Amino acid sequence: MNKNNNDAFDVCIENAFDFLSQEYAELFAGSDATAFQHPVWLDTLYRKLAPVAAAKPLIVTVRRRATGKLAMVLPLMRVPRGPMRTVEFADLRVSDYLTPVCTAEIFSELLQDEDACLTLRRLVRPFDFLRMCKLPDGKMPIENLLAAPRRTVMEMNAYATALVAPFEQWRASALSRSYQKELAKKLRQLQKKGALSFSCCDDDASIMAAMEMMKNFRGPRFRAQGDGDLLQRPEYFDFYSTVALRGLGAFVRLYTMKMDGKLIAAVLGLCHRGGFLVIMSAFDIAGYKSQSIGALMFEQVARDCIERGDQILDFTIGDEPYKKMFGGQPSPLWSVTQAGSVAGSLALFALRQAPWIKLAAKRMAEFKLRPVRT
C-alpha cells in the first residue's frame, strides 16, 4: 500500500447522511452499485425499517482529501442479533444485491491508501460478528478493505435472462417449444373466462390497490409453505408501498393483470440501467390454479420490458425452477464473514457447521431402523 498517496482519502462515519442529496445522486449515477443502493431505496430503508428493527445506521463515507468530493459510501448497520453485536450491509431482508457505492476503479484506489483502510476498519468496530452477504461479484473485494477472511459462495444463486427484440424472437430463444405451446394454451383458457387485461400502475391509487392485493394473496401462500411473508408485517408493507409510490414512473414498475376489472396478479420490480429487477409477485392461485397465471404474467412482463427497450429481466435471488424456464441464467452470490470477539468466533464456527448439521439431520430422517430380531 502507498502511504504517500497524493490524492488520499478521508474516511468518517456520517450516520445522518442524506441519501436524497445531490452529491449522493451523482455518486450513485456514476457508480457500479445496484438498484438496491438507489437513493430512494436506501433512504426508505433507513427511515422506515431500521427503527423498527432496532438497527442503528453505520454509514461510512469516503471523500477525496484534496477536494472533499464524495468518492464512496458504505451503507452499513449495527443490527442486534440476540446478544450478538453484528455489523451488516443495509439489508434487513429486502435487498438482493449488496455492494459499496462507488466505481471499481475508486475502490481499487482506496485499497492503496493504507491510512484510509486502517481508519475504516477501526470505525466499523466494535462488533462480535461482521456479515457481508449477497455480494454479486468480485469487482470490489470488500474482504480486502476490511481485512476479513476470503469470501465464500452462498448456497443460492441469482437468475437473469437477456432480452432481445422483438418479443417473439426472445420467446423463441428463451422458452422451450413445448413450454411456449403450453403457455399459449393456458392463455386461451384464461381469455375464455372473461375480459383479461395487463397494465402498469400509473397513479397512487392503483399502486395501493395492487399492494393490498399482493398482501392478501401472499399470506396464505407463504403460510402453506411454512414461512412467513414479509408483506404481512406492517413495517415491511409500509416500506414496499413507500418505495413503489416514491419511485413511480422512474425507479419502480408495478405490473398488474385483471380479469373483468378484478386484480388477479401483480409483479413489483425496480428499473436500473436497462434492466428490470423482480422483487415481489403475487397471484390468485386459488382462483386460477390450472391457468398458470404466474407464468403468463411474467411472459407479459418480458414483453413490456422489451417494448420499453430493457435488455435484462432479472429474477434476482432464489433457485425457483420457473426462472430457468424463462431463460434465466444462474450467477453466484458471495458472502464475507468475520469474527470480532470470542462470542463472534463461536457464532462463526456454528454458522460454518450449519451445512453439516443439515446434512446429518437429513440422513437421520431418511434412516430406517431394521426390525428387531427375536
43: helix, coil or strand? helix
State the pLDDT at residue 229: 87
Q: Which residues of 156-169 are buried (b: 16+ CB within 10 A; e: fewer)?
A: ebbbbbebeeebee
Whole-number Å distance between alpha carbons of 148 and 134: 16
Amino acid (1-letter code) at residue 11: V
Closest CA to 337 of 325, 329, 349: 349
Q: How far is CA 162 from the centre of its chain?
A: 19
State the pLDDT at residue 220: 75
Q: At what angle do helices 204-224 and 234-246 cross, to 10 degrees?
A: 140
Q: Cβ-count burial of 180 within 10 angstroms (0-12 exposed, 13-18 middle, 19+ buried)?
A: middle
What domains can be seen in the chain, in order of their start residue?
A: 9-148+341-361 (3.40.630.30), 159-331 (3.40.630.30)
Using the structure block, give the residue that is written with the C-alpha cell 432479472: 314
Query: What's the chain's length in residues?
Result: 374
State the pLDDT at residue 72: 98
Residues in the chain with pLDDT < 50? 1-4, 6, 356-374
**Rg of the chain over all Cα atoms, to the nearest angstrom:** 23
List, in sequence order, every beta strand (DSSP E) within the chain.
9-13, 56-64, 70-81, 84-89, 129-135, 152-162, 196-200, 252-259, 262-272, 275-283, 312-317, 329-339
What separation in angstroms does the CA of 248 have from each of 92, 99, 223, 244, 257? 23, 24, 30, 6, 18
Q: Which residues of 218-230 are buried (b: 16+ CB within 10 A; e: fewer)?
A: beeeeeeeeeebb
Whole-number Å distance between alpha carbons of 215 and 263: 12
State the pLDDT at residue 346: 74
DSSP state of 11: E
* Strand-strand pairing, 152-162 and 329-339: antiparallel
Q: How far is CA 369 from the centre of its chain?
A: 44
pTM, entire model:
0.90
State the pLDDT at residue 369: 33
Q: Which residues of 195-208 are buried (b: 16+ CB within 10 A; e: fewer)?
A: ebebeebeeeebbe
State the pLDDT at residue 51: 96
State the pLDDT at residue 122: 97
State the pLDDT at residue 225: 55
The three cell numbers locating residue 135: 455480494
